[in-house]
Amino acid sequence: MPDVDVALATAWLRAAADAVTADADLLTRLDSAIGDGDHGANLRRGFTAVVAVLDGSEFAGVGDVFVRAGATLISKVGGASGPLYGSALRAIGKALPPGESADLADLARALRAGLDAVSKLGGAAPGDKTIVDAYGPAVAAFEDAVAGGAALPEAAAGAARAAGDGARATTPLTARKGRASYLGERSAGHQDPGATSTWLLFQALADVTAP
């Protein structure tokens, strides 16, 4: 049962592009409070470029879609989020089995590989008020759902919920990584922009898989 194929991958990334574009102002506002106010513009620019790549390409395998998307983010975004999200997508793509499609367990493993890439590159631990605080819970929820026999829509919805909870839970935290860390205690009381965009990305997966 080909849960995860090229069509799903491209649909997810297009939905992600729509989501970060629609909420670019929100992301920028969050980033203005504790960063430099470019997170929305960064992701909009990056995912717009991803969509252009999707439009102009044929993909041999589902993994390829993510690898190309990741490379595009790395080439177009800059800042902290470009390499982090770019590396995550590349790692996801590389962890997927070669070929047209993959199953749910493959996707769970790939999402985990993406998280590992983010953690390795950025060195952030849970609670540092970063992407990791939304991505970590999302992967864990996805794995649990898959282990419990859930189908993709249910697993994706659970991951999105966990990412949202994780993003909201960053609000009281004091940042230890990224630009927000320069604010010290003053970073507390604001939701992390990167964790918020991670939530948008998982919500996009939930939306495109919803029955």
Partner 1 sequence: MKKFINDPNDVVAEALAGIAAAHPGDLRVDTAGQYICRADAPRSGKVALVSGGGSGHEPLHGGFVGPGMLDAACPGEVFTSPVPDQILAATKAVDGGAGVVHVVKNYTGDVMNFQMAAELAADEGVTVETVLVDDDVAVENSTWTAGRRGTGATLLVEKIAGALAEEGGKLAEVAAIGREVNTASGSFAYALTAGTTPAAGRPGFDLPDDEIEVGVGIHGEPGRRREKLRPARDLVRSALDAILEAKPVADGDQVIVLVNGLGGTPLLELYLVYGEVATVLAERGVRIVRRLVGNYVTSLDMAGLSITVTRVTDEMVRLWDAPVRTPGLRWGA
Q: What string marks each residue from 88 to 127 as x (binds ligand ADP by CB under 6 A) or -?
A: ------------------------------x---xxx---
DSSP 37-59: S-HHHHHHHHHHHHHHHHHT---
Rg (CA), the chain: 16
Contact (Cβ atoms closer than 8 angstroms) between residue 62 and residue 102? yes
CA dihedral 14, 17, 21, 26 (to 10 degrees): 130
Measured from the CB of residue 77, what is the shortest distance to ligand ADP in angstroms? 7
Among 6, 19, 20, 80, binds ligand ADP (CB under 6 A): 80
The one among 72, 101, 130, 203 contacting ligand ADP by CB under 6 A? 130
Size of the site for ligand ADP (CB under 6 A): 24
132's contact among Mg ion, ligand ADP, partner 1, none, with CB below 5 to 8 A by partner kind, is ligand ADP
8 Å CB contact between 155 and 142:
yes
Q: Would you call 152 helix, strand, or coil by DSSP?
A: helix
Q: Around Cβ 38, how many Cβ atoms within 10 Å?
A: 19
Task: Determine the size of the site formed for partner 1 (CB under 8 A).
Answer: 34
Query: Considering only residues 63, 82, 114, 164, which one is a binding residue for partner 1 as defined by CB under 8 A?
Result: 82
Catalog residues that contact ligand ADP under the rule CB under 6 A.
31, 35-36, 38-39, 42, 79-81, 84, 118, 122-124, 130-132, 177-179, 192-195
